[in-house]
Amino acid sequence: MRVRIQDAPFDAGAELNAFSGGNGVGAIVSFTGVVRDTDSTLAAMEIEHYPGMTERAISGIVDDAMARWALIDVLVIHRYGRLVTGAPIMMVATKSAHRAAAFAAADFLMDYLKSRAPFWKKEITADGSAWVAAKEADEDALSRW
C-alpha cells in the first residue's frame, strides 16, 4: 500500500509508471481527479483536510479494498492546499493479476475516498468562495458495495 497526502503537485503519468510492474501483475487501473473549470469562473480550489485522521481513514479504506479483491498493490495520492484549475487533485491506482479486480477496487476506492476521507473542497472564484456541498448521490454510491 502506498498512501501519500501532500500539498505539492504530482505527475500522474510518472506516478503510474513508478507504480507499474511487479511479479504476477496482469492489470493496472488508474484514476486521476483534476480541478475542473466548467464555465471559466473558477480561479482555484482550496482543499482542507484533517491531518492524522486522513491517513488513518485512507489506510482503512485501502485495507478494506485489499481484503475484498485480490490486489497486488494500491496507490493513493491526495493533495490539500490551494490548487489551480487543470491541476491533479488526487489519483488512485490498483494492480492485480486480472482486470476485474483492478477496475472494481479502483471504483470502490474512489467512492469511499469521496465520502469517507476527511477532505473538504472550497471553490474560489472572482466573486468570492464557497464550500462544495457533498452530493447525496456520492453517499448513495456507497450502498453499491
Partner 1 sequence: MNVMYFAWVRERIGVPFEAVETAAATVAGLVAELSARDDRYAIAFADITALRVAVDQELSDFDAPLAGVREIAFFPPMTGG
Residues that bind partner 1 (CB under 8 A): 33, 48, 50, 52-53, 56-57, 78, 89-90, 110, 113-122, 131-134, 139
Q: 87 — phi, psi (to 5°)?
A: -80, 150
The minimum distance between CB 22 and partner 1, in angstroms, equals 26
User: Nearer to partner 1 by C-beta: 24 or 51?
Assistant: 51
- DSSP assignment of 34-78, as one string? E---SSS-EEEEEEEE-TTHHHHHHHHHHHHHHHHS-EEEEEEEE
The minimum distance between CB 122 and partner 1, in angstroms, equals 7
Whether residue 141 contacts residue 66, with contact meaning beta carbons closer than 8 Å, is answered with no
User: Nearer to partner 1 by C-beta: 53 or 70?
Assistant: 53
User: Nearer to partner 1 by C-beta: 95 or 114?
Assistant: 114
| Three-state DSSP class for residue 123 | strand
User: Nearer to partner 1 by C-beta: 27 or 50?
Assistant: 50
